[in-house]
Structure 1
Amino acid sequence: MSNPNVLTEESPSVQAHLQIMQGVINRMAANSTASKTWCITIVSAILVLVADKSKPEYAFIALLPILLFLALDSYYLALEKAFRDSYNEFIGKLHEQRICSEDLYSVVAKGNMTNHQIAALKSFSVWGFYVCLGVMVYLAKELVL
């Protein structure tokens, strides 16, 4: 006969906790995507304004939002990684039957955020996107504007 106090994969509280964690991870991923979308929009708007005013020397102003969104995007990816680590730790405890009720009420990012952010900056999804966008701004200034 099983102990009714043991938390298992089928426990409603465990399922609710996992759904909360998955929701947080999904929001961080969506925020990362939104950062890229907003960055393209703002950079494009700056370049249109620069072209409209016939001031190509101001094209490099578009690098400012690129740097700001690069930092924001890497922060969201670092948070996503930290919450995935927390999720995986919870799953590990669940499989080892070491879950306690305190684990169910703790939704915190695990790990060193600085290390996660540095790893996110090294990710091709970050540097590849923002470096390409910066190169496009340079090419727009030199060849188009």
Structure 2
Amino acid sequence: MTTAPPDEMRVRHLEILQSTINRLGTNSFLVKGWAMTISGGLITVATGGAGWSVALIALLMTTGFWLLDSYYLEQERLFRSLYNRSLASPSQIPVFSMDVGRYAQSVPWRTVALSRTMTLFYGTFALVEAAAAVALLAEG
């Protein structure tokens, strides 16, 4: 049995990390697409006569998507930290390590969830849904 040279193993480790980062980014993109589709559909149904309760459900769905997307983005940032550390100081990171726990302090979940892009994207939907729920509740 032959073993790969250390440099080749490090390159493979970086490729695996990059693949994980790409997968997490794709998941985040898909969550945003589903959030837009479901939010728009539920608001359309709510304003079409279904009432404030459907707008409230849309708000709850948006909140759930916001939390899920924040998780994926946090994980992506943690793996980016591991990737960067593996690149800058390869001797400090075991080959094929996927342990991102040491970077949790530098990538707090709350900071990710309340980042400008997340707040603008999901906050806009949440405001529209809350306004629709209040307007529909006031009507009837």
TM-score when scaled to structure 2? Answer: 0.79
Deviation at 1:113, TM superposition (A): 6.8
- Stretches (4+) displaced over 6 A: none
1:1-145 equivalences under 5 Å are 7=6, 11-52=7-48, 54-58=49-53, 59-94=55-90, 98=91, 103-110=94-101, 111-112=103-104, 115-141=107-133, 142=135
Q: Which runs of 5+ in 2 are unaligned?
A: none
Please tell me whether the aligned partners of residues 18 and 87 of structure 1 are also in contact (alpha carbons under 8 angstroms): yes
Please tell me whether the aligned partners of residues 36 and 69 of structure 1 are also in contact (alpha carbons under 8 angstroms): yes
Please tell me whether the aligned partners of residues 70 and 112 of structure 2 are also in contact (alpha carbons under 8 angstroms): yes
Q: Percent identity?
A: 27
Q: 1:43 to 1:85 in 2, by over 3 A?
A: same
Q: Aligned-pair RMSD on alpha carbons? A: 2.6
For residue 117 of structure 2, what is the amino acid of its counterpart? S
For residue 57 of structure 1, what is the amino acid of its counterpart? W
TM-score when scaled to structure 1? Answer: 0.77
Please tell me whether the aligned partners of residues 82 and 113 of structure 1 are also in contact (alpha carbons under 8 angstroms): no
Please tell me whether the aligned partners of residues 82 and 109 of structure 1 are also in contact (alpha carbons under 8 angstroms): yes
Q: 1:114 to 1:43 in 2, by over 3 A?
A: farther
SS state at 2:108 partner = helix
Alpha-carbon distance between aligned partners in 1 of 2:107 and 2:16, rounded to the nearest angstrom:
24
* Rg comparison, structure with higher value: 1
Deviation at 1:49, TM superposition (A): 2.6
